[in-house]
Amino acid sequence: MADIPLPPGLSAARLDEARMALETALGPGKVFFEPLDRTSYQDKFAVDDAAHHPAGAVAPDSVEEIRAVVRIANEYRLPLFPIARGKNLGYGGSAPVLAGSMVLDLSRMKRIEFDEKLGTVLLEPGVGFYDLYDYLQRNNLPYWLSTPGNSWGSVMGNALDRGVGYTPYGQHTENICGMEVVLANGEVVRTGMGAFEGAPTWQAYKYGFGPAWDQMFVQSNFGIVTKMGMWLMPEPESLMGMDVEFDRPEDLKVMVDTIAPLRRERLLTQSPSIGNWMRAAAVLTTRDQWTDEPGALSDSVIDAIRRQFNIGWWGVSLRLYGREDVNRAAYKVLEDAMGKAGPMSIRPTQWKRGEPLEYTGWTGTPMTFPMQNVNWYGGRGGHIGFSPIIEQDGDKALAQFRRTYARYQEYGMDYQGSFAFGERHLVNVNAMIFNKDDPAMMAKVDPFFRSLVADAKEQGYGEYRTHLDYMDLVAGTYDFAGGSINRMNEAVKDALDPNGIIAPGKSGIWGSAYRQERQA
């Protein structure tokens, strides 16, 4: 086992003893220590291929098996890194923060329980968006999913990392209702009404009695979530909307200032996302079809791409869901507002129940085609995301874009950016696409990312999620009162997980046993 990365403080002999204990408890078919196994769980989009290598993996298929794994992990001080399906691409995939950790692969746990009357689902970590979609279709259930751009992943895993979709239920974390969690001591807890034995309201009421813990297990390492309740959107009677293109980079200001009030008053209940021309072009084409010039694309090449696909510098898709009469009235307001904003084009769209459905994120259907953007540069493509939270203000959004765009040009990278609306905030999602077979390009990614973090910090903007490489960096930017939030997080961590075995370093939270591993 000399080639196996070891967690701090654990010898190769002791790790081999832990492996044998896991095989005895679960059977050898659920324990993976071969070189190919370790390679399979590495981050496919890693900026540094030498980082975050696991020692191995274990794949239980029940809560009792998870409890057995946790017991062994405590006995041998073997850190575990739980994953649902390992498809959190751009943020670390299936790899652990701490090298030498054992990946706890929960993808075999795929049970689904659905309440048709309430539109709630109780699911396990291995249930992917395609799985849940197929379940709804197979059982003729009149509900729609909200899916992210990469729908290979876990419904639960996406919600636990605050992933978003495109429908009125697109803020996935907000639609969590009740969890089952295995704690580091092996105890099983249920949150909300699940703490009340036999309560039929576990997926109907989020809070229960006393502190509400669901959000404490989001983006944290306080426990292993084994079941999660979610609310789904009833199939609407109609869908109406428009795809709107704007011609100039500076049009971002009027777009934000036009859409934001409609979102706040809930005329728009979806989560629209303003994206630049490359969001479409990088899926439909590759860079070498347009130019071989080094550095960031010139305006002339950008103009040629836009002419080819008849797209604006920015575009946004706006959708209205629900009763047809209500949508028609709301559409008139939307049409008038967007028309006054001076768009390059407006393309209306509509659908009524019973008509064939267009398979897009706007209709809650799983998709994977947006991931084709990683082929933009050729080679082994990948990306990481830089996504600060900013105000819903056109001037602030335009200033944020200009700062970020200047950095893309400085580092010679092609800009793919978007501004996604919550009710009161914008998420400025910037995809840093790269070719892992281009050493010169890969050498720029780390300093590029760090410069973006520093620029945002100066404006008071922090990221809402990030790649494994930068969890300590981003956690450190949350520095009110000298970082009191992280001290509180780590106090909770030490109380619930005194040996620090569950996902050390996740979201910058380190248990006392591994705190020395925190990045400088």
- pLDDT for residue 2: 54
Helix, strand, or coil (residue 421): strand
Residue reference for tokens 């939030």: 485
Query: CA-to-CA distance for 256 and 177, rounded, in angstroms?
Result: 31
91 is catalytic: yes
pLDDT on residue 504? 98
What torsion do the CA atoms of 6, 10, 13, 16 make, to the nearest 10 degrees? -70
Cβ 241 vs Cβ 318: under 8 Å: yes
Per-residue burial over 27-55, b = 16 or more CB atoms within 10 Å of its CB, e = otherwise: eeebbbbeeeebebbbbbbbbeeeebbbb
Supply the pTM of this predicted model. Answer: 0.96
Which residue's structure tokens are 């390059």?
344
Tell me which residue of 34, 2, 228, 213 sits closest to 125, measured CA to CA.
228
Pick from 279, 439, 298: which is nearest to 361 by CA?
279
Q: Is residue 264 annotated as part of the catalytic site, yes or no?
A: no
Q: What pLDDT is attached to residue 407?
A: 98
Say if residues 436 and 381 touch (Cβ distance below 8 Å): yes
pLDDT, residue 381, reads 96
Write the CB contacts of 509 (distance below 8 Å, at least 6 apart in sequence): 220, 221, 475, 486, 489, 490, 493
Collapsing DSSP to helix, strand or coil, 351 comes out as: strand
Residue 181: CB atoms within 10 A of its CB come to: 23
**pLDDT the model gives residue 369:** 85
Write out the two tokens for 404: 């970020």
Question: By 3-state DSSP, what share of the chain in percent is helix, strand and coil, each rounded to 5?
Answer: 40, 20, 40
Other C-beta atoms closer than 10 Å to the C-beta of 505 total: 26
Using the Cα atoms of residue 218, residue 221, residue 223 and residue 226 in order, give the sign of their dihedral: positive
Name the DSSP class of 231. E
CA 364, CA 352: separation in Å to the nearest integer? 15
SS3 441: helix
Given 465, 478, 515, 518, which residue is catalytic? 465
Annotated catalytic residue: which of 41, 76, 91, 415? 91
Contact 203, 122 (CB under 8 A): yes
Q: Do residues 239 and 363 touch, judged by C-beta distance below 8 A? A: yes
Amino acid at 276: N
| 478: annotated active-site residue | no
416: its two tokens: 């793919």
DSSP state of 167: S
Q: Answer for the pair 296, 196: CB distance below 8 angstroms, yes or no.
A: no
CB within 8 Å of 250: residues ≥ 6 apart: 398
Tell me which residue has tokens 């259930």: 141
User: Helices in 77-120 by DSSP H: which ranges?
Assistant: none
Per run of 10 residues, the mean pLDDT along the chain (length 520 residues) is 83 96 97 95 94 97 98 98 95 96 98 97 98 97 94 96 95 97 98 97 97 96 98 97 98 98 96 94 94 95 96 98 98 98 97 90 90 93 96 98 98 97 96 96 97 98 97 97 98 98 98 88
Locate tokens 């909307």: which residue? 241
List the catalytic residue out of 135, 405, 464, 478. 464
> Which residues, in sequence order, are bridge partners of residue 391?
425
